[in-house]
Amino acid sequence: MLETVRTRARSYFEDAPPAHDWHHVQRVATLAETLVDRHPADGIDDRIVNLAVFLHDIGREKEDRGEIDDHAAWGAREAGRILEDVGASPETIDHVQHCVRAHRYSNTIEPETLEAELVSDADNLDALGAVGIARTFAHGGALGQPMYDPGTSVADDDTAAGATQYNHLHKKILDLPNRMYTDVGRDLADERATVVREYLTQFDRELAGER
C-alpha cells in the first residue's frame, strides 16, 4: 500500500515549483524517519506517518494557482479518496486525514496524535536551516515578491508572512521552533534556526557594506 500511495501522490507534483516539489516531500520523509527513530515513545505508527508525509502537500500546487483556499483541507479529502481506492481501513484513513489537515502552519487545527505532531514537525523542519533559506527565496521568487525592500522594515510589516522574503525569514521562519510539538523536533529546529539567524546577520552586514 505504501508504495502505491507514494506513486499516486507523486503524480500531484509534476509541475510543482521547487519550494513545494516532490523533493520537499522526500526531505520531509527523511526528517520524519529521523524524528521517529529519536523519539522515546513506543508504539508510533510509522506507517501512518509515512502515508501522511506522502500526501500532506498534494493540494499545494492547486492553492498556489488560486484554485483552492486551503491545501490541507483539500488534501485531506483527496487523501481519503486515494486511501480508500487502495483499500486502507477507515481508521487508517481517519488518522492520515487528521495528519494532513493539521500539518499546515497557518490553520487552527492542532495535532491530536503523536503521528500528526511528527508530520507537522518534519514539515516545519524543512522550512528551517540552509534548505529553508533556499526554499524561502525560491518560493518568493516564483510569486514575484521582492527579496528585500529597505522601505518595508520587519517592524513595520503588518503582513502575516512578510511582504519580502527577508521579512518572511524574520516573521515566520524564525518562529517555527516555537511551533514544534516534540522535544526531538524542537532540538533540530533550534539547530536549524541558528543557521537562519547567522545568515540574516551576514545579510544585514552585506546590506550595510560591512562585509
User: pLDDT digit string (tens) for 158-199?
Assistant: 998 899 999 999 999 999 999 999 999 999 999 999 999 999
Percent of the chain with pLDDT over 70: 100
At 66 the pLDDT is 85
Stretch 135-160: mean pLDDT: 91
On whether the CB atoms of residues 13 and 27 are closer than 8 A, the answer is no
At 211 the pLDDT is 73
Is residue 107's pLDDT more than 80? Answer: no
Percent of the chain with pLDDT over 90: 81
DSSP3 helix / strand / coil % (the chain, rounded to 5): 65, 0, 35
Give the position of cell 483527496.
78
**Cα 38 versus chain centre, distance:** 20
At 68 the pLDDT is 84
Q: C-alpha distances in angstroms, 126 versus 72, 107, 137, 157?
A: 17, 18, 14, 24
Q: What angle do CA 81, 127, 176 make, to 5 degrees?
A: 100
Cell of 48: 501512518
How many other C-beta atoms are found inside a 10 Å radius of the C-beta of residue 108? 6
Distance from first CA to last CA of the chain, Å, rounded? 53
Domains of the chain, CATH where assigned: 1-108 (1.10.3210.10), 127-211 (1.20.58.1910)
At 42 the pLDDT is 84
> Helix axis angle, 114-125 relative to 46-55, nearest 10°?
50
Whole-angstrom distance, CA of residue 181 vs CA of residue 8: 29
At 4 the pLDDT is 95
Is residue 43's pLDDT more than 80? Answer: yes
Whole-angstrom distance, CA of residue 86 vs CA of residue 199: 45
Whole-angstrom distance, CA of residue 51 vs CA of residue 28: 12
Stretch 71-100: mean pLDDT: 96
How many other C-beta atoms are found inside a 10 Å radius of the C-beta of residue 57? 26
Mean predicted lDDT score pLDDT of the chain: 94
At 15 the pLDDT is 86
Whole-angstrom distance, CA of residue 81 vs CA of residue 3: 16
Closest CA to 50 of 102, 105, 92: 92
Is residue 112's pLDDT more than 90? Answer: yes
At 33 the pLDDT is 97
On whether the CB atoms of residues 113 and 43 are closer than 8 A, the answer is no
Stretch 140-154: mean pLDDT: 90
Confidence of residue 122 (pLDDT cuts 50, 70, 90): very high
